[in-house]
Chains A and B, each alone.
Chain A
Amino acid sequence: MIGLVLKDMLVMRKTIRTYAMFLAFYLVMTLLKLFTISFTTAILQLIVMLLPMSAFSFDEMAKWDRYALTFPLGRRALVTGRYLFALIMTVCAGLCGLVSCVLVSIFDNQDMILENMMTVMVCLSLGLLYADILLPLCYKLGPERARPYFYLVIFAPIVLLFGAYQLGVFGAGSLSFLSSVPDPMVVKLSFFLPIIPLLGMWASYLISCRIMEQKEF
């Protein structure tokens, strides 16, 4: 299984390197106050979310799964490897976000480190949630057919929220809390937020295993 995670990393080392350069660029832009830390952490998670999907595409191109099933690992190990890869990448993005927060606080002397960290934790939770939804879809439909769902899952909530706001569903000023300083209790609670999608990942993993068990190669 470790071999399968390593395979994903080696296959995508070029992509990971390119993304790392993008992230360094965004971080510099953030330190120069051209981007906000919230924007950078969100971009970070969005980019990382693409990696497992790319891993599926690379595997499909090489017909890797058919070959990997000749290994003494079993179908479940293939799924475990992919979830582990997605988890490692998402957590790495979260850690990069946290480091960015600390750096921005040091260089910018801002007193918003906790709020920025809350943003990172929310982004991390969303990243994990997307993985929970998209990995079984990739197993069921394949990466190409799952791609529209990827965009749907990311952009539908934004479009719906924006549309509802424009239509006045929330009422005047009801979203003003988004720009206000959050309650310290909410900030603290946000640190536990990733536990929810992590639990969801277990359910998602079981669904993917079931799909994989029924597949023919």
Chain B
Amino acid sequence: MTNAIEIRGLCKSYGDFALQNINLTLPGGSIMGLIGENGAGKTTTIKCILNLIHRDAGQITLLGQDNITGERLAKADIGVVLDECYFHDTLRPRDIDRILSRVFPSWDSALFDTYLDKFQLPERKFIKEFSRGMKMKLSLAAALAHQPKLLILDEATAGLDPVVRDEILDEFLAFIRDEDHAILISSHITSDLEKAADYITYLHQGRVVLSEAKDVILDSYGRLACTAKQLEAVDPADLVKVRKGAFGCEGLVRDRSAFQRKYRDLLVEKTTLEDIMLFMGKGEEAV
């Protein structure tokens, strides 16, 4: 099966910030969550994938096509939802159908109508009258109506209430039922990714610090809660990052089972993606 996205050695510098040697593979039939703090490089990576910005080095392949030389071919099979709705306020969903049916050769007006019904979006109402949730659902309907094989979503669920987010996540899961389909989703809402994603790539200060199957991450990583004295007794090589507070210390452990076997008197719990992000973003190196 062709990989939906392959990124090799991607570099992009803005002077004060740089994406450094990004490598990433999204296999077909799966969802990859791209996580990282603000300014970590998630949007820059997505912009490079979509050729919205010029990369300094590296290679990007989308659905088997180079993202520059085969840009048009690749983009015909890609649906994109960015962090906000980019449709003009003076347009209506009906107009979006008229416009995009002339843009995408595979546009399916009936399918677009189905999504409008499903998301309860009035086709004759102006977009300026839509709520943020409605706008994002409209963007998703537009992204899905040309029957893409790859969905790229940049903070598409940010600022939405849990009900709308759940609706959208259900749609992603329905989309991914087809093994040729894949989704790359960048999000701060790690709980959503824990529900839906198969792979997680964590970007920190322009570098990939973690890219692994979600189940592997959640099964292997652990959170150590202990006192400062107990922490001193732990070999720093067994800890990825530590956080020291007034009431105790915490450490991020890469291999929970191995750690537990080595330190039988210490308690290591399962961790969440949010914990991992907090450790990576705010934690200190273990010394």
Contacts and interface: CB of A to CB of B under 8 A. Distances in A.
Interface of A: 2-4, 6-7, 10-14, 58-59, 61-64, 66-67, 69-74, 216-217
Given A2-B102, A216-B54, A11 B71 contact: no
Contacts of A61: 88-89
Given A3-B101, A3-B102, A70 B50 contact: yes
Given A10-B91, A11-B91, A72-B104, A67 B80 contact: yes
Contact of B75 (A13, A14, A70): A70
11 contacts: A3-B102, A6-B102, A7-B88, A11-B88, A62-B88, A66-B86, A67-B82, A72-B71, A72-B76, A74-B72, A216-B52
A7 B103 CA distance: 11
B240 to A, nearest CB: 35
B51 A73 contact: no
Interface in B65-103: 71-76, 78, 80, 82, 84, 86-91, 95, 98-103
B78 A70 contact: yes
Interface string B39-80: 000000001001111100000000000000001111110101
A71 B103 contact: yes
B89 A62 contact: yes
Nearest to A214: B54
Contacts of A59: 88
Looking at B47, B50, B90, the one whose CB has the most chain A CB atoms below 10 A away is B90
Contact of A10 (B98, B104, B105): B98
B84 A14 contact: no
Contacts of A11: 88, 90-91
Interface residues of B, number: 32
Contacts of A10: 90-91, 95, 98-99
A69 B152 CA distance: 13
Contacts of B91: 7, 10-11
A14 B104 CA distance: 26
A69 B86 contact: no
A99 to B, nearest CB: 28
Contacts of A63: 84, 86
B104 A71 contact: yes
Contacts of A4: 99, 103
A11 B92 CA distance: 10
A69 B90 contact: no
B86 A6 contact: no
A69 B51 contact: yes
B80 A70 contact: yes
Given A7-B88, A66-B82, 7 more contacts: A2-B102, A6-B98, A59-B88, A61-B88, A71-B104, A72-B104, A72-B105
Contacts of A14: 90
Interface string B100-115: 1111110000000000
Contact of A72 (B54, B75, B89): B75
Given A3-B103, A74-B71, A217 B53 contact: yes
A158 to B, nearest CB: 33
Contact of B72 (A6, A12, A62, A73): A73
A82 B74 CA distance: 24
Contacts of B74: 72
Given A70-B80, A71-B104, A58 B88 contact: yes
A10 B94 CA distance: 11
Contacts of B52: 66, 69-70, 216-217
Nearest to B103: A3
Contacts of A6: 98-99, 102
Among B50, B52, B73, B82, the one with the most A-chain Cβ atoms within 10 Å of its Cβ is: B52
A70 B80 CA distance: 7
B47 A217 contact: yes
A62 B76 contact: no
A58 B103 CA distance: 19
A10 to B, nearest CB: 5
Nearest to A74: B72
Contacts of B100: 3
B143 to A, nearest CB: 9
Contacts of A13: 90
A69 B50 contact: yes
A110 B104 CA distance: 52
B167 to A, nearest CB: 22
B101 A62 contact: no
B15 to A, nearest CB: 13
A148 to B, nearest CB: 25
